[in-house]
C-alpha cells in the first residue's frame, strides 16, 4: 500500500518510508550477555501489536544526518550510534530521518522497539541493502534488542537458538488476542532500559535466579503458544513479569517503574479473572498496565481499567504485522 510521506523528497533522491509496531514481551528480556553486540542474557517471547504505529521516512541528503522525532529536530545518541555501526558495514550517505509515533514515546510502550525496527526497515528499503528478515531483525537488535521482535509480526521468539534473530511463531491471525493498554502516566521514564538492565546485572541479588527462571519460562511458553493455551500462557507471562520487576526493585539504586495505577491495574485484572474473564497482565519498564485478553472479553477489560483513578488513556489493540516499507 502506498502512503503519503510527510516530507517532500525531490525525484531521484533515494528514500523509503517504513511502518512498525511495538511489541509486548510475555517472557521478558532484562539483561545483556554481551553489551558490545547487544546480545541479550535472556530469551524472550512477544506479541506485536497492530494500531500503535511508528512511521519512519529515510532520505539521503547532503551534509550531516538530521533526525526529526515527532516533528522536532533532536540529537538521539541511540540512533546516532546505530547509524555509526551500520556505516561500518554498508555505504550509507548522510540521512534525513523523520520518525513519528502515534503513542507516547519512552514511557513503557516500547517506542524504542518499533522505532529501531522501522528505522532499519526504511534504511534497508531506501538504500537497497537487500537484507533478509533475519538480517533485518539482527540489525534491529543491535540498535535495541526488543526491536528485533518488532521486525516480525504476531507471536515471536528471540533466543540464542536462532542466532538472536527473531523467529516468527504464529501469524497475527493464527491466535487473535487483544491487548488493553491502560496508560497511567505519559511521562518519560527517568531510567532507560539499557542503563537499568546493566544496573540490575551488576547489583540485584536476584539476577542469577532471574536468568535461570527465564530459561524455563521461555521453553514452557513456546509449548503453550503452540497449543494456544491461554490460561497457561497467562500464568507464565505474569510470573515472568513479576520476577523481572523483582529484579528491578532489588537493583541498587532501585528501579521502581510502577505507580498507584499500575498496582490497581494488577488488582483489577486478577479480580476479572476470578470472575471468569480470560485476561492476564504484563508490565514493562514503565507504569502502563497491559492486559492481554480473549477478544470476546476485551470490552469488559477496557471498562474495568478505564474506570481506574488516574488512567489517562486506554488503547484496545489486536495483534499486528512485522515492520514493512510502505513506500520507496
Residue 146 in the binding site for ligand 2P0 (CB under 6 A): yes
Q: How far is the CB of 42 from ligand 2P0 (least distance, A)?
A: 8
SS3 33: strand
Chosen residue from 105, 162, 194, 259 binding ligand 2P0 by CB under 6 A: 194
Contact 284, 108 (CB under 8 A): yes
Q: How far is the CB of 193 from ligand 2P0 (least distance, A)?
A: 3
Residue 284 in the binding site for ligand 2P0 (CB under 6 A): yes
Q: How far is the CB of 12 from ligand 2P0 (least distance, A)?
A: 35
Q: How far is the CB of 286 from ligand 2P0 (least distance, A)?
A: 8
C-alpha to C-alpha distance for 246 and 267, rounded to whole angstroms: 17
Q: Which of these segments, 28-36, 67-75, 266-274, 299-307, binds ligand 2P0 (CB under 6 A)?
A: 28-36
Residue 262 in the binding site for ligand 2P0 (CB under 6 A): no
Residue 145 in the binding site for ligand 2P0 (CB under 6 A): yes
* E strand map for the chain: 15-20, 23-27, 32-34, 39-40, 44-48, 54-60, 66-69, 72-74, 95-101, 155-158, 166-170, 178-183, 279-282, 289-293, 313-317, 324-327
C-alpha to C-alpha distance for 38 and 155, rounded to whole angstroms: 22
Q: Please say which residue, 60 or 235, places its beta carbon nearer to ligand 2P0.
A: 235
Q: Which run of H or of E encompasses 310?
A: none
Task: Render 62-102 in DSSP notation, one character per residue.
Answer: SSS-EEEETTEEE--HHHHHHHHHHHTTS----EEEEEEES
Residue 142 in the binding site for ligand 2P0 (CB under 6 A): no
Residue 101 in the binding site for ligand 2P0 (CB under 6 A): no
Helices (H) and strands (E) in the chain, counts: 9, 16
Q: Which of these segments, 6-14, 57-65, 117-125, 143-151, binds ligand 2P0 (CB under 6 A)?
A: 143-151
- The three grid cell numbers given for residue 310, joined into one nine-digit string: 488516574
Residue 288 in the binding site for ligand 2P0 (CB under 6 A): no
Burial per residue of 282-295, b for 16 or more beta-carbon CB atoms within 10 angstroms, e otherwise: bbbbbbbbbbbbee
Q: Please say which residue, 150 or 178, places its beta carbon nearer to ligand 2P0.
A: 150
Other CB atoms within 10 Å distance of the CB of residue 263: 14
Binders in 56-95 for ligand 2P0, by CB under 6 A = none
Binders in 174-193 for ligand 2P0, by CB under 6 A = 193
- Tell the residue number behind the cell numbers 504484563, with chain if given: 282
Residue 137 in the binding site for ligand 2P0 (CB under 6 A): no
Q: Which of these segments, 21-29, 59-67, 169-177, 219-227, binds ligand 2P0 (CB under 6 A)?
A: 21-29
Q: Please say which residue, 38 or 101, places its beta carbon nearer to ligand 2P0.
A: 38
Rounded to 10 deg, the angle between the 133-143 and 111-127 helix axes is 130
Chosen residue from 144, 214, 240, 288 binding ligand 2P0 by CB under 6 A: 144
Residue 112 in the binding site for ligand 2P0 (CB under 6 A): yes
Residue 44 in the binding site for ligand 2P0 (CB under 6 A): yes
* Residues engaged in binding ligand 2P0 (CB under 6 A): 25, 28-30, 38, 44, 112, 144-146, 193-194, 284-285
Amino acid at each position: 500500500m502506498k502512503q503519503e510521506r510527510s516530507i517532500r523528497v525531490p525525484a531521484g533522491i533515494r528514500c523509503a518510508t517504513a511502518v512498525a509496531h511495538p511489541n509486548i514481551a510475555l517472557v521478558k528480556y532484562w539483561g545483556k550477555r554481551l553489551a558490545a553486540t547487544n546480545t541479550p542474557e535472556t530469551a524472550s517471547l512477544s506479541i506485536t501489536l497492530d494500531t500503535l504505529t511508528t512511521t519512519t521516512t529515510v532520505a539521503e541528503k547532503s551534509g550531516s544526518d538530521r533526525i526529526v522525532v515527532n516533528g522536532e529536530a533532536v540529537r538521539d545518541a541511540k540512533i546516532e550510534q546505530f547509524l555509526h555501526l551500520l556505516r561500518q558495514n554498508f555505504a550509507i550517505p548522510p540521512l534525513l530521518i523523520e520518525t513519528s509515533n502515534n503513542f507516547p514515546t519512552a514511557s513503557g510502550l516500547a517506542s524504542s522497539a518499533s522505532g529501531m525496527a522501522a528505522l532499519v526497515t526504511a534504511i534497508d528499503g531506501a538504500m537497497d541493502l537487500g537484507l533478509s528478515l533475519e538480517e533485518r531483525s539482527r540489525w534491529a537488535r543491535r540498535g535495541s534488542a526488543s526491536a528485533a521482535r518488532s521486525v516480525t509480526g504476531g507471536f515471536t521468539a528471540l533466543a540464542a537458538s536462532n542466532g538472536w534473530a527473531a523467529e516468527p511463531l504464529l501469524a497475527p491471525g493464527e491466535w487473535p488476542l487483544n491487548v488493553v493498554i491502560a496508560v497511567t502516566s505519559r511521562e518519560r521514564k527517568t531510567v532507560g532500559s539499557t542503563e537499568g538492565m546493566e544496573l540490575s546485572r551488576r547489583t540485584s541479588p536476584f539476577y542469577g535466579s532471574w536468568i535461570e527462571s527465564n530459561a524455563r519460562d521461555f521453553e514452557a511458553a513456546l509449548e503453550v503458544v503452540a497449543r494456544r493455551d491461554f490460561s497457561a500462557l497467562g500464568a507464565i507471562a505474569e510470573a515472568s513479569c513479576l520476577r523481572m520487576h523483582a529484579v528491578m526493585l532489588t537493583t541498587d539504586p532501585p528501579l521502581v517503574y510502577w505507580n498507584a495505577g499500575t498496582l490497581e491495574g494488577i488488582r483489577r485484572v486478577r479480580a476479572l479473572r476470578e470472575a471468569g474473564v480470560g485476561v492476564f497482565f504484563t508490565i514493562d519498564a514503565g507504569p502502563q498496565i497491559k492486559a492481554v485478553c480473549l477478544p470476546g472479553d476485551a470490552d469488559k477489560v477496557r471498562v474495568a481499567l478505564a474506570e481506574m483513578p488516574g488512567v489517562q488513556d486506554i488503547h484496545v489493540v489486536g495483534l499486528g504485522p512485522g515492520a514493512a516499507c510502505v513506500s520507496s
